Structures are given as C-alpha cells and as structure tokens.
C-alpha cells in the first residue's frame, strides 16, 4: 500500500499513522499546512509522480455550531474537497476513503440506523457531510464512505477530554441525556477501516463502537473511571442555546462492515477503558 493521508494530525489521522507504523505500511502524512484539501490544483500537483494507490481523507470541518454561520467553508471541506479528492484518486488509479457522520440522521427512529435508512440531516454540518457522501460515491466507484459517530482519540480535542477538563475543580456537572448515539475510539475506527479497505468491497459503510448511550451515560462512565467525587446531574439539549440542531437519536449500525470484516467492533465502554489507559501512559 502507498497511502496519501490527509488531515493526518486529527484524531483519526493520528491513529492511522500509528497503525501504519506498526504494520510497516508506506504513507505520506499531510495536514492543513502541507496539503490544504480545498486547494484542488495543489492536491493534483502533490500526487503527481508519487504513485499512491490509496488516498485516505481524515480532514473535515467538524465544528457543528460554527458551521451554521460558516456554511460555505463547511461545504468546501466536507463536500467539495472530498469530491475533488475522489476525482483525483480516480485519475491516478487509487482507492479513495473518506468519513461521514451519524448526524445525517435526525433521530426519529429508536433502533440503530443502517446504510439503507434515508438521511434527514438537521444542521449545516450534517447536510454538508451528506452532500459529500453523495458526491464522492458519484465521482469514483472505488470509494469507501464510512459514517462514524462521537469520535474520541488521543490526538486533538473530544468530549471525553472535555468532561475530564470540566470535572477539575468542580463538584457538580450537568450533562445532556437526550442525545443518544455511541462514542467511537479513533484507534478502533482506524483498525477496522483498514480491514474494510483491504476487502476492496467499495461503497457506503458505517463503523462505530458497539452499544449505545447518551452523552450523560458517557460522561458518567468516564467520571466514575477517573474517580471523580462530584455530583453528576442531567440536562436537556434545550438548556443550552446552541446554534445547530442536534439529533436525538443517531446510533448507527456497523453490521454491514462487520460482516465484510468478519469481526465485531468493541463495546464503547471497553474502548473508553483503553483510551484512558493510553492517555495515562
């Protein structure tokens, strides 16, 4: 494998790098500074003569609230740049891999969403990701578009780290219990993605850790794990006047990918245990 990794300093990009290092897989890691994925001419120039057979895009616009007032930039990064990367991958004969979100589902269901469910994205961020999914799958038939949810990892910021930060010096926290999905460890996502990619069974997929929980449940698990002695209360999404509408329930099923790979994603609690271990190393 000769891989071009974009957005490589993010949570998933970082875990892909560690995975490739452990398997002696050849890759070029780029982030915003080395390769701005919204600059299509630069990307085309960059790949020239480098003989990549995979482009894995981990770059994204992930600020769900800010996206409401930065729709143009958000679409550029989440929809048009992935489309252009897919097109470039096609031109050089490479497989293209990119990621989308459980937020494409608004949450009127109460059982896990599958790839067959029709998205109804409730925010600019979710709409831009859904648009990206369609554009990529149209642009290049050797593409994997993988939806995931509530990603946490060692690199960059995430809800787990925020909760740990908020708990310092406080004896009471209130966390919303009316948003349900599943936290996903970027290390597991990278490992399972690589197995999926190796299957060469291209198309739309979903990969997240197993089980489901609310943000409150996730916070409770982390706070108990780190031995916080404070009091955890519940809150509602409407208590916070956030610009972007959130999905009530957006748990996605990984069954399709798990069948292809032949094994199950670990449970989210097991994933958080390993994340905390890694963080404390």
Ligand X SMILES: NC(=O)c1ccc[n+]([C@@H]2O[C@H](COP(=O)([O-])OP(=O)(O)OC[C@H]3O[C@@H](n4cnc5c(N)ncnc54)[C@H](OP(=O)(O)O)[C@@H]3O)[C@@H](O)[C@H]2O)c1
Q: Looking at beta carbons only, is 190 or 261 nearer to ligand X?
A: 190
Active site residue 125: yes
Q: Looking at beta carbons only, is 185 or 233 nearer to ligand X?
A: 185
Residue nearest to ligand X (CB): 10
* Residue showing tokens 């108990």: 224
Our finding on whether 6 is near ligand X (CB under 6 A) is: yes
Q: Which residues contact 67 (CB under 8 A, 6 or more apart)?
A: 61, 74, 123, 124, 125, 128, 244
With contacts defined by CB under 6 A, name the span among 20-28, 55-63, 193-201, 245-253 that binds ligand X. Answer: 55-63
What's 226-254 look like in SS3? CCCCCEEEEECHHHCCCCCCCCCECCECC
Please give the helix or strand (H or E) that residue 144 lies within, else none.
strand 143-148
Q: Is 88 exposed, middle or buried (0-12, 13-18, 19+ CB in 10 A)?
A: buried
Output the smallest distance, CB 263 to ligand X, in A: 21
Length of the chain equals: 281
Our finding on whether 252 is near ligand X (CB under 6 A) is: no
What is the footprint of ligand X within residues 146-185 (CB under 6 A)?
A: 148-151, 156
What is the footprint of ligand X within residues 56-95 (CB under 6 A)?
A: 58-60, 62, 77
Known catalytic residues?
A: 125
Q: Where do contacts with ligand X occur on this chain (CB under 6 A)?
A: 6-7, 9-13, 31-32, 36-38, 58-60, 62, 77, 99, 101, 148-151, 156, 186
């Amino acid at each position: 494998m000769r891989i071009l990794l974009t957005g490589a300093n993010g949570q998933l990009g970082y875990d892909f790098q560690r995975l490739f290092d452990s398997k002696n897989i050849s890759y070029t890691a780029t982030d915003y500074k080395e390769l701005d994925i919204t600059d299509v001419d630069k990307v085309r120039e960059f790949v020239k003569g480098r003989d990549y057979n995979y482009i894995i895009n981990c770059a994204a616009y992930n600020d769900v609230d800010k996206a409401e007032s930065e729709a143009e930039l958000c679409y550029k990064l989440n929809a048009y740049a992935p489309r252009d990367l897919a097109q470039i991958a096609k031109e050089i004969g490479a497989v293209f891999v990119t990621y989308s979100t459980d937020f494409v589902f608004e949450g009127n269901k109460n059982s896990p969403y599958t790839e067959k469910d029709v998205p109804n994205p409730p925010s600019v961020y979710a709409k831009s990701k859904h648009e990206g999914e369609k554009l990529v799958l149209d642009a290049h038939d050797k593409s994997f578009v993988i939806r995931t949810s509530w990603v946490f990892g060692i690199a960059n910021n995430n809800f787990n780290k925020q909760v740990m930060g908020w708990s310092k010096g406080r004896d009471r926290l209130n966390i919303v219990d009316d948003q349900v999905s599943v936290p996903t460890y970027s290390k597991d996502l990278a490992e399972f993605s690589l197995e999926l990619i190796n299957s060469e069974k291209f198309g739309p997929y979903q990969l997240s850790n197993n089980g489901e929980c609310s943000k409150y449940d996730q916070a409770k698990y982390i706070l108990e794990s780190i031995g916080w002695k404070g009091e955890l209360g519940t809150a509602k999404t409407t208590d916070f006047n956030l610009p972007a509408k959130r999905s009530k329930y957006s748990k996605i099923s990984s069954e399709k990918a798990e069948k292809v790979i032949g094994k199950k994603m670990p449970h989210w609690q097991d994933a958080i245990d390993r994340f905390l271990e890694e963080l404390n190393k």
